[in-house]
Amino acid sequence: MTERVVLAYSGGLDTSVAIGWLGQETGAEVIAVAVDVGQGGEDMDEVRKRALACGAVESIVVDAKDEFADEYCLPAVRANALYQDRYPLVSALSRPLIVKHLVEAATYHGATTVSHGCTGKGNDQVRFEVGAKALAPELKVIAPVRDYAWTREKAIAYAEEHDLPIDVTKKSPYSIDQNVWGRAVETGFLEDIWNGPIEDLYSYTSDPAQQRDADEVVIAFEAGAPVAIDGKPVTMLQAIQQLNVRAGAQGVGRIDMVEDRLVGIKSREIYEAPGAMALIAAHMELENVTVERELARFKRGVDQRWGELAYDGLWFSPLKQSLDAFVMKSQEAVTGEVRMTLHAGKATVTGRRSATSLYDFNLATYDEGDTFDQSMAKGFIEIFGMSSTLANKRDQSLAGE
């Protein structure tokens, strides 16, 4: 039986060239797998046909938009996942989903190898390969761009020589990755971190400095999941899509940051994630209302670690799976509504209500109806500070000797 390679196929130059090159170098049949995670911009049926025209024996397009939203973006909302407190894991969340479908295709078609178009400087190579090894340790991996110094110039020459049906002349100055959760832009003039971003970089968001009326939105959650917008039921995918439009129109979700890549270098990235940032902001505020103090304090550390694991490509790791269980348990009471004003690049919470709220008006108020017994506070302070008081008395005594 002829060997088979399953290639993560984007439809672009590098992965289109990789189809023929992999067949030529390995003698294997190449099966192209393109996963639709809401990246938009191109007809996925055209992507499928292009892979066949480039020499794939089979071209598979998976509509995974709902799966991506429900099984990857929703857990990220519940974990308030912001790598380095800013990045909502735009690309990182899609990689384990793509890996899952690569491995499933490899199993179904009897392939021994999977392949991707990542370079040796980025995070995605780790996400693809660690994920694939976790799900199917027996699979081999080939990364032509990284392993064989496959440059753009070589790819263009190969495409021209083999008359491949792809545009090899148009080159964006940026490297762009996008899906329904957001958009990531890097390289080009952005590699000089003193250079400010320009409006041409953005696609999901409008200029936040433009004059426009504010947009008020009410997001309803059940157990940490968005279930309605302005009273109308939505799926997770619909919630992201609707807020991408509404928050994006207000310039919400623009991020310009220098981040720590897993491979040890720092990288300047421009992100747009209007729906993601609005949903996470609303969810965090509802947690403030419904999650008990000690659980909330501990969860903040869990959230940070969850985001790091997802960023680092350890989606299928035992620790990530265990943290998932903790996060899910913490969401049992995270039900209610959050009102937000979307305006001038900000998603600002202006109201919150919940049947499972831990906010007690009568305990919080300083006006009539106050039920808080302030006489208990003095004794509480004495006991709470006792260990610190004793230690400081000892240290002062020792210092005086």
Q: According to the annotation, is 11 in a ligand binding site?
A: yes
- Burial class from Cβ neighbours inside 10 Å (0-12, 13-18, 19+) for residue 360 reads exposed
- Looking up tokens 């009102």 gives 339
Q: According to the annotation, is 119 in a ligand binding site?
A: yes
For residue 186, what are the CA distances in angstroms to 32, 177, 272? Answer: 26, 9, 12
Residues 6+ apart with CB under 8 A from 132: 99, 102, 103, 114, 139, 141
Q: According to the annotation, is 16 in a ligand binding site?
A: yes
Q: What's the CA gap between 249 and 200, in Å, rounded?
A: 15
Q: What's the token pair of residue 185?
A: 């832009």
Q: According to the annotation, is 9 in a ligand binding site?
A: yes
Helix (H) or strand (E) holding 142: strand 140-142
Q: According to the annotation, is 148 in a ligand binding site?
A: no
Among the listed residues 234, 235, 231, 233, the one whose alpha carbon sits nearest the alpha carbon of residue 217: 231
Q: According to the annotation, is 391 in a ligand binding site?
A: no
Q: What's the CA gap between 76 and 355, in Å, rounded?
A: 24
CB 60 within 8 A of CB 33: yes
User: What is the b/e burial string over 142-157, where b = at least 16 CB atoms within 10 angstroms of the residue's CB?
Assistant: bbbbbeeebeeeebbe
Q: According to the annotation, is 356 in a ligand binding site?
A: no
Among the listed residues 333, 325, 335, 323, the one whose alpha carbon sits nearest the alpha carbon of residue 292: 333
CB 203 within 8 A of CB 195: no
Instruction: Point out the residues that are catalytic.
Output: 14, 95, 124, 175
Q: According to the annotation, is 66 in a ligand binding site?
A: no
Q: Look at the alpha carbons of 192, 195, 197, 201 in this order and tell me if their dihedral is positive or negative.
A: negative
**Side-chain-side CA neighbours of residue 195 (13 Å):** 14
Q: According to the annotation, is 83 in a ligand binding site?
A: no
Q: According to the annotation, is 256 in a ligand binding site?
A: no
Which neighbouring-strand residues pair with 339? 218, 351
What are the phi and psi torsion angles at 225 (to 5°)?
A: -110, 135
Q: According to the annotation, is 311 in a ligand binding site?
A: no
Q: According to the annotation, is 8 in a ligand binding site?
A: yes
Q: What's the token pair of residue 239?
A: 């919630």
Q: According to the annotation, is 80 in a ligand binding site?
A: no
- Looking up tokens 């996400």 gives 127
Q: According to the annotation, is 86 in a ligand binding site?
A: no
For residue 304, what are the CA distances in angstroms to 85, 87, 269? Answer: 8, 11, 20
Q: According to the annotation, is 175 in a ligand binding site?
A: yes
Q: According to the annotation, is 370 in a ligand binding site?
A: no
Instruction: Tell me the binding residues for ATP.
Output: 8-16, 117
Instruction: Tell me the binding residues for L-citrulline.
Output: 87, 123, 127, 175, 259, 271
Instruction: Tell me the binding residues.
Output: 8-16, 87, 117, 119, 123-124, 127, 175, 259, 271
Instruction: Tell me the binding residues for L-aspartate.
Output: 119, 123-124
